[in-house]
Amino acid sequence: MTPHLRFAPSPTGYLHYGNLRTAVLNYLYAKKHGGHFLLRLDDTDRERSTEEFAAQIAEDLRWLGFTWDGQAKQSDRTARYEAAAEQLKAAGRLYACFETPDELDRRRKRQLASGRPPIYDRAALKLTDEERARLEAEGRAPHWRFRLDNSGASGGIVPEHTNVAWDDLIRGNQTVDLGSLSDPVLIRADGTFLYTFTSVVDDIDFGITHIIRGEDHVTNTGVQVDLFKALGAKPPAIAHHALLTASGDLKMSKRSGDMALMNSRELEPMAVASYVALIGTSDAIEPMRSMDELASMLDLSHVSTSAARFDLGELKALNARFLHATPYGEVADRLTAKGIGGGEAFWLAVRGNVSVFDDVDGWWRVVDQEIAPVIEDAEFLAKAAAVLPAEPWGEATWSDWTNAVKAATGAKGKALFHPLRLALTAQESGPELKALLPLIGREKVLARLAGKTA
Ligand code: GLU
């Protein structure tokens, strides 16, 4: 059977590394198993969902290299939710409630004060037809609760200890006691549906076979497994990964830009994907070059059940490692787009000294444009200029030249190389001069050795 997966963000904020991890795990699972991948926008919260957030999420995923086989949004599917709600009502699993938030709050406080668990007491189930008619006549619109299957053998109204169990693909055997939960509201008084419900209807309709999501959904899963059954469907396989925490005082939240993916465009998509896929697993975090390669590494049994700490510094270091191993063919177009004409020789010379791709600009300036040389010892540089070999230059030119400078001045080691590097690049460190020298060319080298901006 072809696996069907989905990433189901609510477009109420930006994609951050935390929810991106969920996206990547689902995407890679589908890829690894030749499955379908659906992007589903959970926009049931009409006030906070926006088209802009939805568009930004899709753009972020595209930037990362995702493709998806289908896209859906919950606001288009109201008719389906209404039909499913009717099905539950007919089965006696969805019932009208008229309590106001204040009444519920008072009831909860009374329960707590008398040492009882603050779960909904199903008072609405005890309403007579006349009472219900009177409340409706008062203009009270009902909200609707799902009657959890927790009545035990008694079949009574009072919840009894009832475990819902599933074999979690990450956490192993899991149970949630439905007897300890309030019947969840599935339809608000204004007629809008809640995620708990819409998600299950969608998962059934789209044939979702696997759900990978954060462990903040474990209790939801207990309720939703019961809902799948109430709607006559088999629940999908489910995995809950631990959540990522942000390091330092950064915030992993949809409304804080700190960890927003759209603020990471200077990074390489595959470095980002590799980091979020492998952090919090027992596998070493290595930069993979393609989604296929990364997918082949994915193993849910390697995903840890304890929180992983997201470290931006670690991601940046991974990005640098990714670039250091990037072959010219993968960046040729991007170099050309920047107007950099140095070809493969330039890229191979500088790639080991870039942390983000745009760092190539600085090295292109050194090679092709003007820099103000840093002169430590003009006399020494004049002697070096005097023994500079004639062109054509190649790989051996640097050692031929520095051997000649050494013979002419007696300088060696740092005293030999450091003033030359400062004069030729104006930097303390950088790519091997053996590779840079032929790219800079004799004319510029002579000018820089003489202290001229060139
Ligand atoms: N919209 C839900 C969320 O963002 C989806 C959870 C799920 O995968 O079912 O948390």
Q: Is 10 in the pocket of ligand 1 (CB under 6 A)?
A: yes
Q: Is the full-model pTM beyond 0.95? A: no
Q: Is 236 in the pocket of ligand 1 (CB under 6 A)?
A: no
Q: Is 183 in the pocket of ligand 1 (CB under 6 A)?
A: no
The beta strand positions in 302-400, using DSSP E, are 308-310
Q: What separation in Å is there between the alpha carbon of 326 and the centre of ligand 1?
A: 35
Q: What separation in Å is there between the alpha carbon of 399 and the centre of ligand 1?
A: 61
Atom of ligand 1 nearest to the CA of 220: 9
Atom of ligand 1 nearest to the CA of 216: 10
Q: How far apart are CA 173 and CA 84, in angstroms?
A: 29
Q: Is 213 in the pocket of ligand 1 (CB under 6 A)?
A: yes
Region 152-170: what's the mean pLDDT? 89
Q: What is the structure's pLDDT at 250? A: 74
Q: Is 8 in the pocket of ligand 1 (CB under 6 A)?
A: yes
Per the listing, tokens 């090679």 go with 367
Q: How far apart are CA 209 and CA 37, in angstroms?
A: 11
Phi, psi at residue 143, to the nearest 5°?
-105, 165
- CA-to-CA separations, 282 to 116, 270, 301, 304, 310, in angstroms, rounded: 42, 19, 9, 7, 15
- Tokens at residue 370, please? 């003007």
Q: Which CATH number is 378-449 given?
A: 1.10.10.350
ω before 392 within 30° of 0 (cis)? yes
Give me the amino acid identity at 349: A
Q: Is 6 in the pocket of ligand 1 (CB under 6 A)?
A: no
In sequence order, the 6+-apart residues with CB closer than 8 A to the CB of 129 are none
pLDDT in tens, 254-271: 777 778 888 899 999 999
Nearest one of 95, 104, 94, 29 to 66, comparing CA atoms: 29
Atom of ligand 1 nearest to the CA of 42: 1
Grade residue 8 by pLDDT with cuts at 50, 70 and 90. very high
- CA-to-CA separations, 268 to 70, 101, 344, in angstroms, rounded: 25, 48, 19
Q: What is the structure's pLDDT at 289? A: 97
Atom of ligand 1 nearest to the CA of 217: 6
β-pair type (4-7, 36-41): parallel
Q: How far apart are CA 195 and CA 200, in angstroms?
A: 8
β-pair type (210-214, 185-187): unpaired
CATH superfamily, region 1-95+147-325: HUPs (3.40.50.620)
Atom of ligand 1 nearest to the CA of 212: 8
Grade residue 377 by pLDDT with cuts at 50, 70 and 90. very high
pLDDT in tens, 21-55: 999 999 999 999 999 999 999 999 999 999 999 99
Grade residue 180 by pLDDT with cuts at 50, 70 and 90. very high
Per the listing, tokens 């009894």 go with 160
Q: Is 26 in the pocket of ligand 1 (CB under 6 A)?
A: no
Q: What separation in Å is there between the alpha carbon of 361 and the centre of ligand 1?
A: 41
Atom of ligand 1 nearest to the CA of 224: 9
Domain boundaries, the chain: 1-95+147-325, 328-368, 378-449
Nearest CA to ligand 1 atom 5: 8
